[in-house]
Amino acid sequence: MRTEYAVPLALSVLLSLLAPVVMQGAPGISFHISFRSLQQLDTISSSRIESLDDAAAYVRKAAVLCGITDPALLPGGLESRLATAEWEAARDPTKLVPDDQVAKAFNFMSGEFRVKHPAELTAEDILQYRSVQAALFPHMFSPKGVNGSRPVSAVVILYLLWFNGGVTVDVRKAAQLDRQPGSLTISPSGGRSGLDPNPNLAGREYQAAGYAYFVQQPPQRARSFLDHMANTVSLPQDK
């Protein structure tokens, strides 16, 4: 199972935390999610969120771990919207992001990017994916018995699915074993199960389609895409 998700970045590109693709923009963001950053994200996700300030601090730390040092560069108040969503989900489990909404966001992304061989995902696919990830990162990802994902987790899942071109065969095999949260430990230097610099064909297709989309689209269209994705995973509007 792949656990390395770092994306090679060109100089001065902007990666949005919600849309897991390269955007034209100013320096200040060097977005990536690696095995190490997933470990760190899992650690900070273990802390309780008891106020909106706690949620804002959590989202800010998560953004920094993903390479985002200046929240002002994110469009549409995305960071504050994520913080509000995290606070609401901490108070009310029904505010978690449902698997079908994550699948819907991914499928919309596939169509918007005009991926030649799109992976049409369902809520069951997302459930399988997050349950496998929870075996490695139990605080970041919700296990099978939880009805949905934390908002930051949903965003990370979309990024990982984009990078890999959907749910890989290895993940589907792992999902059949029904492992408990936190039951797996993998070294980042563990060969194929650790660092794998060669994405599969589907992953390469999705990455290329994402890069091409944001190079070709005007800023207004790109922001419209981001807003649609945010609304699909039910991020509250900034007040």
On the question of pLDDT at 190 being above 50, the answer is no
* Partner residues linked to 23 by β-bridges: 14
Question: Domain of 86?
Answer: 13-220
| pLDDT tier at 185, thresholds 50, 70, 90 | confident
pTM: 0.82
Taking Cα atoms as reference points, which of 38, 44, 40 lies closest to residue 4? 38
Number of folded domains that form the chain: 1
56 is written with which tokens? 């804002």
In a domain, 199, yes or no: yes
In a domain, 239, yes or no: no
In a domain, 144, yes or no: yes
In a domain, 231, yes or no: no
pLDDT, residue 159, reads 87
In a domain, 44, yes or no: yes
In a domain, 207, yes or no: yes
pLDDT digit string (tens) for 59-91? 989 888 877 766 665 655 778 888 999 999 999
In a domain, 96, yes or no: yes
pLDDT digit string (tens) for 110-156? 999 999 999 999 999 999 999 999 999 999 999 999 999 999 999 89
- The sign of the torsion formed by the CA atoms of 221, 225, 231, 234 equals negative
In a domain, 233, yes or no: no
Question: Are the CB atoms for 174 and 1 separated by under 8 Å?
Answer: yes
